[in-house]
Amino acid sequence: MKARVHVMLKDGILDPQGEAVRHALGTLGYGGVSGVRQGKVIELDLAGTDRVAAEADVRAMCEKLLANTVIEKFSIEIV
C-alpha cells in the first residue's frame, strides 16, 4: 500500500518560492499567472494492509516530522 502526502503552506503565510516562480513565469511571457503556491508531495510505501490504521500512522508522521503544522497544512491519500 502507498500513501501520498501533500504539504502546502497555510493560507496567509508568505510563499517566497511561489512568488519567485510566479515572477519567472511572467518573464517567460506567462503574464496571466497572478499567484503561485509551491508545496511538496511525499510518497510512502507502507507494509500494512489496514487502510484506517495506515492513515492514522501517516497522520502521526505528518504531525511529528513531515509537515510543520504551525505554518503548513497537509492532506493524506492512501492509494
**Which CATH number is 56's domain given?**
3.30.1280.10
How high does pLDDT run on average in the chain? 97
Taking residues 17-39, report their average pLDDT: 96
Mean pLDDT of 33-54: 96
Over residues 11-40, mean pLDDT? 96
What percent of the chain is modeled with pLDDT above 90? 99
Please give the residue range of the domain that contains residue 60.
2-78
- Mean pLDDT in residue range 20-28: 97
Determine the pLDDT at residue 76: 98
Structural domain total, the chain: 1
Mean pLDDT of the region 49-75: 97
Gyration radius (Cα) of the chain, Å: 16
In a 3-state reduction of DSSP, which class is residue 66? helix
